[in-house]
Chain A
């Protein structure tokens, strides 16, 4: 039953169209992600990691196959429904943090809570709580430009978490960070997964990321070539 899975993808195919030429990026990919699972998506550049992440995040439409999220068929939903899912169910962590420079750490976290219609004082509490979870309780009024890369990525994590999503998609979250900070970030993500039960899929080249995940999926030329559960 699909509903036992958070995400199921069947025969997902994606190609770029360059003139008359089709460049296949994902080639009939099958995938299942269970609730509370933390997955590392690995593979060489051009293997389709980011594309898969974009498809799972409803950022890029795919051409063929079927993708369900909590039993809901993504192919059959409207743009409005997609926005709603992105707003309430999905959290994003980007390699380059993608924070809003003109807002403070707290305001960056609060922004999407405000967009969820959460009232001022409640969203402030949620923002503070999530910034505390990533160890930034004493940096809440600083702007991203006044903070280090690691701190910025922690704001991004707090922002993603504050939405209470079912699924977090992280694209190379440690790539812009040094090894030590990268480990801190992964520790935080791993701990948060255990606290909140959120599922995560992390696209990364970083070998270190594998130490913190439950499962490693390797993509090669748009196909899953390895799917390995990690037992600890």
Chain B
């Protein structure tokens, strides 16, 4: 009967209840939308980073990533075949991608520009690294003399697929070496530093240019996200000279810092949304309880304790809060359904590629938004109810 009474009280002033429910719904929509949007953004960046550049992580010799060496190749992985095979045998690892990285001068005969090259096994990388976003031509795949260039680099050199490019670099022994290559494709990963300087050639060509059989790193493709630590433990246990580093650490400036920044921003917005809910519901609930002061007085005169009245009014608050929160969640789900490709967004700071952000709606986000919205409005109702309970019984009965 208490619930029935509370429900009818909510229905008593339909417009006011509707406004209250809408306020909670909007607040919850805001909280959930932002959280899932930011999470989607982080996911998008992580996906982009994993499938365009780093894989789920990277294996190097111990301490290699933390230090700058005069002759880095002295710290590269020697005789990599056995290591590659052993790592590939770890059940959580799908594929391993040996790589070398080097600096070289690229020239088209008239213009020269410095770039950072990556030697990769083109055929192996073509499937996993599917976010390279080739805007012209193709990945190098099995093209032995192929080279793919970042869009900025290609523009500076004024080359297109099919054009010839010569790269000039130093061997590990200090002599000059050069490779004549054909542009296979041009990529646009969306990060200026990558698009302006990065190029990829076949690993064998790179090793040839550098005059070494070593590899600098092994990029990893795991069976799924979130298992990097298992893989890391296995690798470091079996190969004490190596260490595995997660993409989140390699890409920390963007991934982790971006995540921390967005989380901080999210907390600020959550606070704003919760404050809006608190104030709006407090205002609405205050009007409601003051209008019903006589009725509440009558209830108290007939033996209802303050706790009983509080329970009734809070239950009304719970109905409004729950309905609003549920509607907010449903609207957010609908938005994500209406925009399955994601929300088109301009490039994020430091990037130059527009990417649609998909809402990453998770149960725990929904639960959190539901609880935040509901609890805020219940607290507001509770606070508003205290006003009428502070009235003496006689005054409440005389209230107009």
Contacts and interface: CB of A to CB of B under 8 A. Distances in A.
B5 A60 contact: no
Contacts of A79: 305
Q: Size band of the B side of the interface?
A: 20 to 34
A86 B8 contact: no
Nearest to B11: A102
Contacts of B298: 92, 94, 98
Interface string A31-60: 000000000000000000000001001011
A54 B396 CA distance: 12
A84 interface: yes
B163 interface: no
A225 B78 CA distance: 115
Contacts of B300: 83, 86
B262 interface: no
A112 interface: yes
Interface string A92-109: 101000101111000100
A101 B300 CA distance: 17
Contacts of A92: 298, 301-302
Contacts of A90: 302-303
Contacts of B1: 107, 110-111, 114
Contacts of B394: 54, 59-60
Q: Size band of the A side of the interface?
A: 20 to 34
Given A80-B305, A83-B303, A103-B8, A60 B392 contact: yes
A183 interface: no
Contacts of B294: 98
B74 interface: no
Given A54-B394, A103-B8, A87 B301 contact: no
A101 to B, nearest CB: 7
Nearest to B392: A60
A180 interface: no
A60 B8 contact: no
A115 B294 CA distance: 19
B303 A102 contact: no
B301 A88 contact: no
A88 B295 contact: no
Interface of B: 1-2, 4-5, 8-9, 11-12, 294-295, 298, 300-305, 308, 392-394, 397
Given A102-B11, A114-B1, 18 more contacts: A60-B392, A60-B394, A83-B303, A83-B304, A84-B303, A86-B300, A86-B302, A86-B303, A87-B302, A87-B304, A92-B302, A94-B298, A100-B5, A101-B12, A102-B5, A107-B4, A112-B303, A115-B308
4 A-B pairs closest in CB distance: A87-B303, A102-B8, A86-B303, A98-B298
